[in-house]
Amino acid sequence: MTEPLILQPVKPADACVIWLHGLGADRYDFLPVAEALQENLLTTRFVLPQAPTRAVTINGGYEMPSWYDILAMSPARAISREQLEESAQRVVDLIEVQKASGIDASRIFLAGFSQGGAVVLHTAFLKWQGPLGGVLALSTYAPTFSDELELSASQQRIPVLSLHGQYDDVVQNSMGRTAYEYLKQHGVTVTWQEYPMGHEVLPEEIRDIGVWLAERLR
């Protein structure tokens, strides 16, 4: 298993963002974003894990970095729940490492783009049972959310920033909106923000993320 990239802050770390890349990318994908955010978040460590390389069914079995296999695209995405659970457990393990290093769980944030976002939403609201600083859900969806799910009081207190492109043709805007509405209906403080973009990240979006994180790390 490839070790995560760890970007240490200029001052002693008292906060951490664990950031998962999307399908087919790697741990370096969001390194420039982390470096940009860290210019103003002087005590925040960034941890950038790497998904395992495995066959992805919808891509003809081609092997690529993937947090879980996607078996079909419609009517709703069919995924390997077992592999998603494994990836979520990796995130839980990373949270525990940060806690053991002295960072309070209330100052640990999970962030993920696309498939990585699906993993962090699952981790925060189905797997992790403690406090968190918040979740950044970028151009993503929540394949494991269902009407039967009950959120604990600590899960309801995890704030979420959902960011999505208006013209996203990979993860449709409506899929991100559905995850947002679900969290909102279950008592989570969740903010929806969309941008005139496709399946990508814009500088304006990164600035908004920086403001959101800074407000919660005062």
Query: Which residues belong to the active site?
Result: 114, 168, 199
Nearest alpha-carbon partner for 205 in 124, 120, 135, 136: 136
33-43 mean pLDDT: 96
pLDDT at 78 over 90: no
Distance CA 145, CA 37 (A): 30
Tokens read off for 42: 């002087």
22-34 mean pLDDT: 96
End-to-end alpha carbon distance in the chain:
35
Which residue is listed with tokens 């002693």?
A: 12
Residue-range domains of the chain with CATH: 5-51+81-216 (3.40.50.1820)
> What is the pTM for the complete model shown?
0.96
pLDDT category of residue 76 using cuts at 50, 70 and 90: low
pLDDT at 168: 96
